[in-house]
Structures are given as C-alpha cells and as structure tokens.
C-alpha cells in the first residue's frame, strides 16, 4: 500500500533536513574569525603582529588577552603555517609577553606538527627539550591537557621514553588522549622497541580509543628497511583483523601514503552489496562466529546486561516471573521482532491502523517464508485493530510487557537464547549494551553477531511484501582475499551508513 511507503520516506526526509544545517553552516568560532583576519593581513616580520594582535583584540569580544596567544598559535598550526606561528611567538618574546600554559601547550603541538611534516633537525630537538625543561621548572605540577601536548613534541626526540612517565602522570587524574598513546607507539616502533609498541597499542584498543595513522605510518617506515617487510605488513593487517580496526576517514591519506612508500599498490575501492571488491573482483569473506564464541557472548550479555544492569528494576515481580517462565519453555525462533520499534518506524504519531499494519506486514513477510516468528511487544497492542492484531496473534508467538518496561534486554535475551542464527528485526543498534561488556574482544564479537543478524525495516507493503536493510554477506573486517588485502575505512558521511570504503592492497 502506497501510503506506508510514503510515511517512511517522509520520516527519513525530515531527519535529513533537521541534520543538514549543522553540516552546511560554517561555525563562526573565535578560531575562524581570527584566522580570517590573519589570512587577510600581510605579515612578513614579527613586529607586523603588533597591529594584527591589537586589531583582533579590538574586533572580537570573545578574543581576550588571556586567550589570543593560544588561539593564534593554534590556528596557524592547524592551517599548517608553522613559520607564521613561530614568528608570532618570536614577537611575543620581543614584547615580553609571558606565555600562559594554554599557549605553551599549543607551542608544543606546533613543534610536533612541524616536526612530523618537515625535516626534524637536531636544532628542533634542542628547542623542544629546552622548552620542556623551562616549563617543568616553572610548573612542577602540570594539567593533563599540557601534559598531552608535551608528549606530542617529546615523542619526536631522543628523549621520547620520558613520555611514558608523563603518561603515568596523566593517569593519576584522568585518561591520556588516544593521540598521546599513538605518538608514543609511533616513537617506540621507530626506535625498535616493538614489545613496548604492541603493548601500548593493545592498551589503546582495550580502552576503546582511536588508533591514529601515526601508529601505522611509523610501523611501515620502520619495516621499510627490513628484508621481510612482506610478512611484517601481513602482521599489522592480521592484527587489524583480530582487533576489528578500521581506518578513520581523516587518517586514510596518511595510511595510504605510508603503505605506498613500501612500494605497495594501494587503491581505494568500494565493495558491492554482494561483497565483491569493485577493483580486484575478489569476493570478501563472511566471518561467522563459532559456536563457542556465540555461547560466550550469550552468557556475558545475560550476566552483564540483563542481570548485572538490573533491568528488571523497572519491571514488576509478576512480569519478571512471567518472562522467566516464558524463556525457560521457549522453543527456538527464526526471527525475533522488536514490535514497538517496527510499529513506530513510520513516526510516533501514526494511527493504530498504520502501526499495527506495519507489524502485521513484517510478521506476514517471514511467515510466508515458513519462518517461526516471535514478537515482543507491549500490553497496549492488545487494543490494536482486530484485522491486524488477529493475524499477528494467529501467526506469531507473542510476549507482551508492561508499557513502562525496557524492550532491548528482553529482545536480546530472546534472540540470544533462541540460537546463533536467529534474525532480529529492529532499527535499534543497541550500542548501550555493547558498552556494558567490559572486554573489547567481546564487544567486537557482539558487534559482529548483531551486524550479521539484524534486519532493519525500510518499508512495508500490505500482505507482507517488506524491504529490509539486511546484513551484508561479508564482514567489515580487514581480510586477505587471494593476492589482495582489503582494509575497511570509516565513512566520513553521517548520512550513508551502509556504505563502507575499502582499501584494496596488493603487496
């Protein structure tokens, strides 16, 4: 029936429009304003900064003598005008303007960025070490933000191991940034301290932090000199596969460049719906969970998410015992439907004829394929129009909870209890539950299981003709396919969620 398709389309369009202005509108931050002024001014000598600085202070209320220096160094650095930033610092020195901690922090970041992009000389090293010594003398106790900045600069020097002490210093009060970890890992690889590098890399992953491309580029730079570089590349790719690592969208370029420096052929590619790489035509693999892996996540989810989080707190003793008795006698189902999620997939304000019709169509879709269907829903569904509700009751097993209960845990419990191959129909990504699993390996397994079992309703026609976004028949995981390795990249777009870009690598 056309109107249902229309409802869903409108719903998607509305969400798209709501989000779009955020992306399109350039944010007028103090940084942007300041950078525009600098860009429009000719600065050739440090003293030219005097007028610019005064002009900026007089023009923008949000920029004050307390923050102007840090912001100026920062914007010049992010725009890769390192010499301009240095000339500004030179100007501050001649004017006897003291650098506050925020400016010093950005000074370290500047030296780091410059050191990475340009030839790093002994003079650069000296500058970093002297600055560090000076800051340490003036500020025996440093805040974590400054410490993170110092780590970046220090990691480039021969004194890089001092970063480990700084890392511990940060850990006293907070958590080091992912980038701090990654620059130290990079330094460790470059200085042939592989055990330390891998240990820290595992720590990054165990803490669910981002792996920056400096890790890979340092690793590839280091192995470039080894005779067995082929197997060394393989080692990193296999690690990426084990840890389910994808390349962040803003890190792809550096990753590709560093791989190319090893005389490796790297191309960006797209994988078709059927799992075929458009560049090399390899068929990508599906990594199914083994029975024991599945049993492990099932047990952990039941222990941590369902029992541990005390989801039953929002339910009555009566409902709990009803559910327990239901699952203890529960046969296995092919499909578990999140009734509420399907019903409201066309929006919250639809009349019961529409909401119940959507669920009826989804049930009919699977029943016509001979599937055994379980529907989890709410008590109020009992009042749904008889034509739809009558069909659902006749053709699916139903478990209804009170209107205030949480659905996810019940859904997960039933799906997991039902078996490894049971399909879940919901748009809910259930990320919250993943985070309750402490172990990163289990999080990865949970993600993999869910991504292979989750159907998301796109639209439904009366009589059960439904279209779903189905799990792909390949896994978004770094993998070797014949002579090629395929490395998944994260998508930059917030709108396209089902498209992953890949790097197709030929060693």
Q: For Zn ion, which residue of 280, 285, 302, 320 counts as binding (CB under 5 A)? A: 280
Stretch that binds Zn ion, among 152-160, 165-173, 302-310, 483-491 (CB under 5 A): 483-491
What is the rounded distance in angstroms from the CA atom of residue 209 to the CA atom of residue 454?
26
Nearest one of 422, 447, 65 to 244, comparing CA atoms: 447
266 belongs to the binding site for Zn ion (CB under 5 A): no
Nearest one of 193, 214, 192 to 204, comparing CA atoms: 214
What is the rounded distance in angstroms from the CA atom of residue 376 to the CA atom of residue 44?
70
Among residues 268 and 321, whose Cβ is nearest to Zn ion? 268
Smallest separation, CB 501 to Zn ion (Å):
12
276 belongs to the binding site for Zn ion (CB under 5 A): no
Please work out the total of residues on this chain that contact Zn ion, with binding judged by CB under 5 A. 5
Nearest one of 419, 472, 493, 414 to 284, comparing CA atoms: 472
Among residues 60 and 279, whose Cβ is nearest to Zn ion? 279
Note the residue count of the chain.
507
What is the three-class DSSP state of 142?
A: coil
What is the three-class DSSP state of 440?
A: helix
Residue 161: is it exposed, middle or buried by C-beta count within 10 angstroms (0-12/13-18/19+)?
middle
User: Do the Cβ atoms of 443 and 437 come closer than 8 Å?
Assistant: yes
Among residues 283 and 461, whose Cβ is nearest to Zn ion? 283
Among residues 424 and 504, whose Cβ is nearest to Zn ion? 504
Q: Are strands 397-401 and 373-378 parallel, antiparallel or unpaired?
A: parallel
- Burial pattern 191-226, b for ≥16 Cβ within 10 A else e, equals eebeebbbebbeebbeeebebbbbbbbbbbebbeee
Stretch that binds Zn ion, among 65-73, 137-145, 207-215, 478-486 (CB under 5 A): 478-486
Among residues 354 and 477, whose Cβ is nearest to Zn ion? 477
What is the rounded distance in angstroms from the CA atom of residue 473 to the CA atom of residue 29?
44
Among residues 277 and 297, whose Cβ is nearest to Zn ion? 277
Q: What is the DSSP letter of 47?
A: G
Smallest separation, CB 214 to Zn ion (Å):
26
Smallest separation, CB 236 to Zn ion (Å):
18
Among residues 277 and 364, whose Cβ is nearest to Zn ion? 277
Among residues 179 and 279, whose Cβ is nearest to Zn ion? 279
Smallest separation, CB 447 to Zn ion (Å):
23
Smallest separation, CB 237 to Zn ion (Å):
13
504 belongs to the binding site for Zn ion (CB under 5 A): yes
Among residues 199 and 483, whose Cβ is nearest to Zn ion? 483
Q: For Zn ion, which residue of 323, 484, 485, 501 counts as binding (CB under 5 A)? A: 484
What is the three-class DSSP state of 499?
A: coil
Q: Spell out, one character per residue from 223 to 262, where the chain touches Zn ion: x when CB under 5 A holds, - when not.
A: ----------------------------------------
- 504 strand-pairing partners: 267, 486
7 belongs to the binding site for Zn ion (CB under 5 A): no
What is the rounded distance in angstroms from the CA atom of residue 11 to the CA atom of residue 275?
29
Among residues 409 and 488, whose Cβ is nearest to Zn ion? 488
Among residues 33 and 276, whose Cβ is nearest to Zn ion? 276
Q: For Zn ion, which residue of 8, 163, 167, 277 counts as binding (CB under 5 A)? A: 277
Smallest separation, CB 486 to Zn ion (Å):
6
Virtual torsion, Cα 292, 297, 303, 307, nearest 10 deg: -130
The upper half-sphere exposure of residue 167, i.e. CA atoms within 13 Å in the direction of its Cβ, equals 20
Among residues 381 and 487, whose Cβ is nearest to Zn ion? 487
Smallest separation, CB 211 to Zn ion (Å):
22
Question: Which secondary-structure segment (H or E) carries 328?
Answer: helix 317-328
Smallest separation, CB 301 to Zn ion (Å):
35
Smallest separation, CB 470 to Zn ion (Å):
23
Stretch that binds Zn ion, among 42-50, 393-401, 404-412, 496-504 (CB under 5 A): 496-504
DSSP 63-101: --TTTHHHHHHHHHHHTT-HHHHHHHHHHHHHTTPPP-H
- Show Cβ contacts of residue 111 under 8 Å, excluding neighbours closer than 6 positions: 124, 127, 128, 131, 153, 156
279 belongs to the binding site for Zn ion (CB under 5 A): yes
Smallest separation, CB 224 to Zn ion (Å):
23
Q: Spell out, one character per residue from 93 to 132, where the chain touches Zn ion: x when CB under 5 A holds, - when not.
A: ----------------------------------------
What is the rounded distance in angstroms from the CA atom of residue 114 to the CA atom of residue 120?
8
What is the rounded distance in angstroms from the CA atom of residue 472 to the CA atom of residue 301?
24
For the segment 11-40, give every residue that binds Zn ion (CB under 5 A). Answer: none
Smallest separation, CB 505 to Zn ion (Å):
8
What is the rounded distance in angstroms from the CA atom of residue 187 to the CA atom of residue 194?
10
Smallest separation, CB 281 to Zn ion (Å):
7
Among residues 62 and 473, whose Cβ is nearest to Zn ion? 473
Smallest separation, CB 365 to Zn ion (Å):
34
- Point out which residues bind Zn ion (CB under 5 A): 277, 279-280, 484, 504
């Amino acid at each position: 029936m056309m109107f249902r398709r229309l409802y869903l389309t409108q719903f998607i369009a509305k969400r798209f429009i709501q989000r779009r202005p955020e992306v399109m509108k350039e944010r007028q931050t103090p940084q942007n304003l300041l950078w525009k002024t600098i860009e429009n001014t000719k600065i050739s000598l440090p003293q030219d900064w005097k007028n610019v600085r005064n002009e900026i202070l007089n023009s923008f209320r949000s920029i004050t003598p307390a923050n102007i220096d840090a912001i100026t160094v920062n914007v010049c650095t992010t725009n890769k005008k390192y010499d301009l930033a240095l000339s500004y610092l030179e100007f501050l020195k001649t004017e006897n303007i003291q650098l506050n901690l925020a400016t010093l922090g950005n000074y370290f970041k500047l030296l780091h960025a410059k050191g990475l992009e340009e030839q790093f000389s002994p003079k650069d090293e000296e500058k970093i070490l002297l600055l560090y010594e000076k800051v340490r003398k003036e500020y025996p106790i440093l805040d974590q933000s400054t410490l993170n900045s110092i780590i970046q600069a220090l990691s480039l020097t021969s004194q890089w191991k001092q970063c480990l002490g700084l890392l511990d210093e940060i850990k006293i009060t907070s958590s080091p940034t992912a980038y701090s970890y990654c620059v130290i890992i990079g330094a460790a690889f470059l200085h042939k301290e592989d055990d330390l590098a891998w240990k820290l890399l595992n720590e990054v992953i165990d803490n669910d932090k981002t792996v920056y491309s400096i890790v890979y580029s340092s690793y590839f730079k280091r192995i470039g000199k080894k005779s067995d570089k082929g197997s060394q590349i393989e080692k990193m790719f296999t690690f990426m596969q084990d840890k389910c690592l994808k390349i962040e969208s803003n890190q792809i370029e550096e990753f590709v460049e560093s791989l190319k420096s090893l005389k490796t052929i790297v191309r960006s590619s797209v994988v078709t719906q059927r799992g075929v790489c458009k560049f090399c035509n390899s068929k990508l693999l599906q990594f199914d969970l083994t029975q024991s892996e599945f049993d492990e996540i099932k047990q952990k989810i039941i222990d941590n998410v369902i029992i541990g989080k005390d989801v039953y707190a929002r339910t009555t003793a009566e409902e709990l015992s009803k559910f327990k008795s239901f699952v203890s006698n529960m046969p296995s189902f092919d499909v578990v439907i999140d009734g509420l999620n399907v019903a409201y997939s066309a929006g919250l304000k639809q009349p019961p004829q529409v909401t119940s019709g959507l669920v009826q169509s989804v049930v009919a879709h699977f029943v016509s394929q001979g599937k055994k269907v379980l529907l989890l829903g709410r008590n109020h569904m009992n009042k749904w129009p008889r034509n739809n509700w009558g069909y659902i009751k006749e053709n699916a097993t139903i478990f209804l909870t009170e209107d205030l209960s949480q659905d996810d845990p019940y859904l997960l419990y039933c799906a997991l209890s039902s078996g490894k191959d049971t399909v879940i129909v919901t748009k809910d990504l259930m990320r919250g539950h993943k985070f309750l699993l402490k172990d990163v390996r289990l999080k990865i397994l949970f993600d993999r299981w869910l991504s292979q079992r989750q159907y998301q309703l796109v639209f439904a026609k009366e009589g059960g003709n439904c279209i779903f976004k189905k799990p792909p028949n390949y896994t978004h995981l770094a993998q070797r396919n014949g002579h090629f390795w395929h490395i998944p990249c994260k998508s930059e777009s917030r709108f396209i969620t089902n498209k992953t870009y890949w790097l197709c690598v030929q060693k």
